[in-house]
Amino acid sequence: MPLNYEIAERTLANGLRVIVSEDHSVPNVTVDLWVNVGSRHEVEGRTGFAHLFEHLMFQGSRNVASGEHFSVLMAAGGRLNATTWFDRTNYFETVPRGAMDLALWMEADRHGHLLDAVNQENLDNQRDVVKEEKRQRYDNMPYGNALIDVYAVIFPKGHPYHHATIGSMQDLDAASVQDVHEFFRLHYGPDNTVLALVGDLTPDEGFVAAEKYFGPLPATAAARRGPVEPLATLSAPVRDEHIEDVPADRLHIAFRLPVDDTPEFFASSLAMDIIGGLATSRLYRRLVRGEQSAVSVSANAMGFVDGISLGLMVIDVADGFDADAVEAAACEELVRFAEQGPTEIEMESALAQTERGWLSSLASQEERADHICHFATLQGDAGYINTFLDRLGEVSADQVQQAAARWLMPTSRAVVAYLKQDGDTR
């Protein structure tokens, strides 16, 4: 179906790209800022820094006290947070229309004048908080470090995606106030930021407000480097095995994929869905429903910008079955898919499920703002939300087969296996 969400765009003199999407369905505005800096920009010895920095953005700035960003906006009816990922960092709040100016004023204060408030005490405190985030989400969880292992084995040392956004405890410990100053000066500034305003406002109201609060900020960010050289597929399988105290054997089968926002990425993404993402996928039919050698299978394509993307399949091996045999069966299916290509029904299913997922994700203002910023920041086109489904629909079955044959062959897989300590089947 053709989508026609309103998109109006203007760039301020200082380089801030402002995108307004008018939608009066509820009396709210989502204020979303994407800064083109993520863990891919981190230097050796400072992994995890982009994310730690994001936490410091809530600890006050020139005219905002520590913690006020949460307390003041929440009391005004705001729901807010921030996230950091390989490619970017984003800051967002959804507020009643009458609090939009306050939100913009607070955002401009921290995006322009954070360093006035940074000190050793709030760095130490948020370093502790981030270390607890890492323990909670990774170190104290079964399989918690599996994704970190996947990135490390499939992308070479020194590559922007070799290390996870959460970083290492050692590097978090090493972060200094001086690092915060340097990071801010290098990466933050209106010329490296996209601002989306989505909701109960007109484009003119949005542009005027953006100019009022962000217009005075100078363009300060350093020029972005170009994308790193594309990586080829792995030339031979790589394996990383962990014998741990986990409840069941779990296989993470990873592939390098083409960069995001290309027909080849879309094709490989559809191939991942058909091989392992759908409830009617090849692997689900064979391993979960048929042999019942796996309890679950998932597959998805994560699009990145720096020369490569990631395809990841995760298989939970059923009790009493051999992980190696399950992996071999999965490899057979990969080869078969590359030889046969998708059926008509598989293409129809993958497109239909993607369509529903896409429309659901555009249903709320905040997620719509997120998509708008994402594609404006990383791919350039703020109107992507309206055209994505049509572009995906142009991908042919042949292209899906070709993408699988090029990117999803067993010979170019990286496997991170978490195996039970007392596994009786090995």
Task: State which of positions 95-134 bind another protein (CB under 8 A).
Answer: 96-99, 101-102, 105, 124-133
Q: How far apart are CA 257 and CA 323, in angstroms?
A: 25
Taking 3-state DSSP, the helix, strand and coil percentages for the chain, each rounded to the nearest 5, stand at 45, 20, 35
Which of the stretches 41-49, 62-70, 323-331, 334-342 binds another protein when contact is defined by CB under 8 A?
62-70
Nearest to 111, CA basis, from 54, 68, 72, 166 = 54
The pattern of x and - marking residues 151 through 190 that bind another protein according to CB under 8 A reads ----------------------------------------
- CB closer to another protein out of 78 and 206: 78
- Does 386 sit near another protein (CB under 8 A)? no
- CB closer to another protein out of 310 and 385: 385
Task: For residue 8, give every residue at least 6 positions away whose Cβ sits within 8 Å of its Cβ, in sequence order, or none.
Answer: 19, 20, 21, 22, 203, 206, 207
CB of 90 to another protein, least distance (A): 18
CB of 240 to another protein, least distance (A): 21
Nearest to 353, CA basis, from 272, 425, 241, 254 = 272
Q: How far apart are CA 260 and CA 255, in angstroms?
A: 14
Which of the stretches 35-43, 60-68, 179-187, 393-401 binds another protein when contact is defined by CB under 8 A?
60-68
- CB closer to another protein out of 63 and 262: 63
Q: How far apart are CA 341 and CA 275, in angstroms?
A: 10
Rg of the chain on CA atoms, in Å? 23
Q: Which residues, numbered 246-285, are part of the site for another protein (CB under 8 A)?
A: 246-248, 278-280, 285
Q: How far apart are CA 308 and CA 302, in angstroms?
A: 10
CB of 230 to another protein, least distance (A): 33
Which of the stretches 63-71, 159-167, 323-331, 377-385 binds another protein when contact is defined by CB under 8 A?
63-71
- CB closer to another protein out of 122 and 309: 122
Strand 193-199 relative to strand 89-96: parallel, antiparallel, unpaired?
unpaired
Tokens standing for 181? 């100053």
Which of the stretches 180-188, 231-239, 244-252, 400-408 binds another protein when contact is defined by CB under 8 A?
244-252
Q: How far apart are CA 366 and CA 197, in angstroms?
A: 10
- Does 22 sit near another protein (CB under 8 A)? no
Pick the binder of another protein from 45, 216, 230, 380 (CB under 8 A).
216
Decide: 419 and 282 in contact? Cβ < 8 Å.
Answer: no
Amino acid at 132: E
- CB closer to another protein out of 309 and 349: 349
Pick the binder of another protein from 8, 10, 63, 379 (CB under 8 A).
63
In angstroms, how far apart are the furthest CA atoms of the chain?
67
Decide: 183 and 53 in contact? Cβ < 8 Å.
Answer: yes
- CB closer to another protein out of 362 and 414: 362
CB of 343 to another protein, least distance (A): 11
